[in-house]
């Protein structure tokens, strides 16, 4: 049934290994009390908005309150650590991101957790595309022209990001490396808002940004988006070519939103939450809602594919972090 999942836990009786184990079943219902949904960032951002709208949908399906709680700080690791330490009973969940599960733990001198081993992945919900944008005065209409321009003018141009250790920063370092070692200095900002304003004003010529942060400026002709760093065009920006189309097949960088729980959650609860997430993400109206936030909905996720996705993201970003010497 949609509103309930019957859980069973089995224990092996003590005895010799040749004796068949005795199974003890304990049955109950889930959820039978409110569920906390940790959003590891401040209110008002994309992750917060997605998390709250997802919580409303899950609450309707589960018949229990899903209570969003903002626990921001330290690149999302403060809220995430609370999930790691929670009981694995399904009553504490999290909306994780590339910051919490692929970047922040690896740029810290003392990582607070292992994003692969210390969580139960449940469902990938959405992808937030990253883009490479330039001020209109930059004489480059595509990614290859930008690369040629930078190579012809070493260190003349610089790129901005939302801050040291942000996915914007890592996207820039990935771009420099994969383009053959570009001399393109990094200018870190304190957040995406000021970096976008400086791109619009021409104070910074190149910017690594989320599509949502520069979408309005692109429509008004105040910035030019050269490429989206994905392997296929985004349905929220189908007119923007991918980095793959632009001759950079390995330039893949995007942030994400996914549902996680503490480690060692019971399979039945994980299955239930995975099924409910799939139903929510299959709702066309909800998909359009997310696209309005410049988020690509993921409609075919499973706990297994989510775990695989997180491992892939870690494998993609950790080498860039190490090569760039990024640490906070």
In this prediction, residue 210 carries a pLDDT of 95
DSSP conformation letters of 207-256: EEEEHHHHHHHHHTTSSEEEEESSSS--TTSTTSPBTTTTT-TT---EEE
Give the residue ranges of the chain where pLDDT is below 50: 1-27
Burial 111-125 (b: 16+ CB within 10 A, else e): eebebbebbbbbbbb
Helices assigned H by DSSP within the chain = 46-62, 77-84, 98, 104-107, 143-152, 167-178, 192-201, 211-219, 267-281, 284-291, 303-324
What's the pLDDT score for residue 18?
27
pLDDT at 1: 39
Structural domains of the chain sorted by starting position, each given as residue range(s) with its CATH number in brackets = 5-128+255-324 (3.40.190.150), 129-228 (3.40.190.10)
Q: What is the pLDDT of residue 28?
A: 54
What would the pLDDT profile of 283-303 be if each residue is shown by its tens digit?
A: 999 999 999 999 999 999 999
Query: What pLDDT score does 21 carry?
Result: 24
């Amino acid at each position: 049934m949609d509103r309930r999942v019957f859980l069973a836990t089995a224990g092996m009786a003590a005895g010799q290994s040749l004796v068949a184990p005795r199974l003890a079943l304990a049955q109950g219902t889930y959820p039978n009390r409110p569920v906390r949904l940790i959003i590891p960032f401040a209110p008002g951002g994309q992750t917060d908005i997605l998390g709250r709208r997802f919580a409303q949908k899950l609450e309707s399906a589960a018949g229990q309150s899903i209570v969003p709680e903002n626990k921001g700080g330290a690149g999302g690791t403060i809220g995430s650590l609370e999930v790691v330490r929670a009981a694995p009973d399904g009553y504490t969940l999290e909306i994780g991101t590339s910051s919490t599960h692929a970047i922040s733990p690896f740029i810290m001198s003392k990582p607070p957790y292992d994003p692969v081993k210390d969580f139960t992945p449940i469902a990938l919900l959405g992808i937030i595309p990253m883009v490479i944008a330039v001020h209109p005065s930059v004489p480059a209409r595509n990614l290859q022209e930008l690369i040629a321009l930078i190579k012809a003018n070493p260190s003349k141009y610089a790129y901005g990001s939302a801050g040291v250790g942000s996915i914007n920063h890592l996207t820039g370092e990935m771009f420099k490396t994969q383009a053959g070692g570009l001399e393109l200095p990094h200018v870190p900002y304190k957040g995406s808002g000021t970096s976008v304003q400086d791109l619009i004003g021409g104070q910074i010529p190149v910017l690594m940004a989320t599509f949502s942060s520069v979408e309005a400026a692109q429509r008004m002709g105040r910035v030019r988006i050269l490429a989206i760093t994905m392997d296929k065009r985004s349905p929220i920006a189908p007119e923007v070519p991918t980095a793959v189309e632009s001759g950079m097949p390995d330039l893949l960088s995007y942030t994400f939103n996914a549902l996680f729980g503490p480690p060692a959650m019971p399979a039945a609860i994980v299955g239930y939450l995975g099924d409910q997430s799939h139903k929510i993400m299959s709702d066309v109206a909800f998909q359009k809602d997310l696209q309005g936030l410049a988020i690509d909905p993921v409609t075919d996720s499973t706990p297994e594919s989510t775990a695989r996705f997180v491992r892939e993201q870690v494998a993609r970003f950790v080498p860039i972090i190490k090569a760039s010497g990024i640490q906070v």
